[in-house]
Amino acid sequence: MPRKQPAKRAIKRDTQQIFDLILKRIIKSSNVAVIQLINALFDTDYPLDSTVEYPNTENVSRKLRRLMSDMIIIINGVHAYHLEAEIGDDLEIVIRMFEYGFAEALRTKKFLNDGQNPPKISVKFPDAKIIYWESSENTPDEVILSVKFPGGAEHDYVVGTVKFLNFEIKDIEEKKLVLLLPFHVLKLRKIIASAKNSTQLTELGAEMKMLIDNIIAAVDRAVEKNLMTKADGRAVIEYTGMLYKQLYQGYDELKEADIMLKDKILTYSEEAELRGIEKGIEKGIEKGREEGIEKGIEKGIEKGIAKVARSMLADGLSLEAIRKYTGLSKEDILAIS
């Protein structure tokens, strides 16, 4: 039978928290993977060897309240981007983003004191994007915050949105959003929550198994194409497992998909261990080869010196002269003779 579900508000709060934490970890993946994510979300074309920085985004407001967003990324030391995400259609997220963005703009403010009167201070907001993990027909393509200034000036703070579950896995691969694959486990959440009996859940379990299998295959392809590192791939699978546990823990009918994720994580661990062993063996062989060459050279030199000493003895040179020119001791010279 389906398990008893907690209150919807509690589910959203807990799930939103773990989704935020995982997104914050994901955007600190390898530079190659993060650059592709930024290019895909903001329609930019930064080279994959661009630098990626994460500024200290902790600020304190006048009311001594901490303002912190770990979702700001700086590319090539100049271009700033701000990501936030929501489970549903919470429009107030734009107000929070404006607050975080303003704090970041103040951090990078510039004083333009070139004789202007009045003097000017320049503040630049990061480019912003909201990812809605789940969306509805009411989810907007962009959200506008109209900012009114004294004197009648007004500016629209526009934030574009991404409706994540509108993408199939093949779309995610094509758009190079593979770092976000863990969040695709939300695909069946509402259907599973509304299942009325074990038979329906068993059928959904088979569908979930196929979904997880497709996520794993997409991650493998991304690693093979160098769209992410193997470390990124393992992290994506681990985060998928974490979110899966958060959403579907307690459903016996869905355990097979959970086992698949655990097996894949174990495979990545074993591969990493095997690569470590192989590198150790290669290093050992190389070191042995170098030592062998060194010993061979030393032995060759010794034989050459002995041959020269033997010739000198045959020519009647004194022991003292042979010692001087070969560096051999008198004992070694006598042994050669």
Q: Confidence band (pLDDT; 50, 70, 90) for 296?
A: low
The first and second tokens of residue 215, run together, are 């996520």
Residue 89 lies in a domain: no
Per the structure, the count of domains in the chain is 1
Measured CA to CA, the distance from residue 141 to residue 99 in angstroms comes to 21
Residue corresponding to tokens 């983003």: 97
CB contact set of 100 (below 8 Å; sequence gap of 6+): 57, 67, 68, 69, 72, 82, 84
290 versus 187: which is more confidently predicted? 187
Report pLDDT digits (tens) over 116-145.
Answer: 778 888 899 999 999 999 888 889 999 999
Residue 199 lies in a domain: no
Residue 292 lies in a domain: yes
pLDDT score for 283: 65
Residue 71 scores a pLDDT above 70: yes
Residue 322 lies in a domain: yes
Residue 117 lies in a domain: no
- CB hemisphere CA count around 312 (13 angstroms): 20
pLDDT score for 222: 93
For 170, phi and psi rounded to 5 degrees?
-65, -35
pLDDT score for 82: 94
Q: What percent of the chain has pLDDT over 90?
A: 31
Residue 299 lies in a domain: yes
Q: What percent of the chain has pLDDT over 70?
A: 80
Residue 225 scores a pLDDT above 80: yes
Report pLDDT digits (tens) over 72-99.
Answer: 999 999 999 999 998 877 888 899 889 8
Residue 11 lies in a domain: no
Element (H, E) at 120: strand 120-122
Range of the domain at 328: 278-336
Measured CA to CA, the distance from residue 213 to residue 159 in angstroms comes to 34
Residue 282 lies in a domain: yes
Residue 255 scores a pLDDT above 50: yes
Q: Confidence band (pLDDT; 50, 70, 90) for 274?
A: very low
Measured CA to CA, the distance from residue 166 to residue 255 in angstroms comes to 26
Amino acid at 252: D
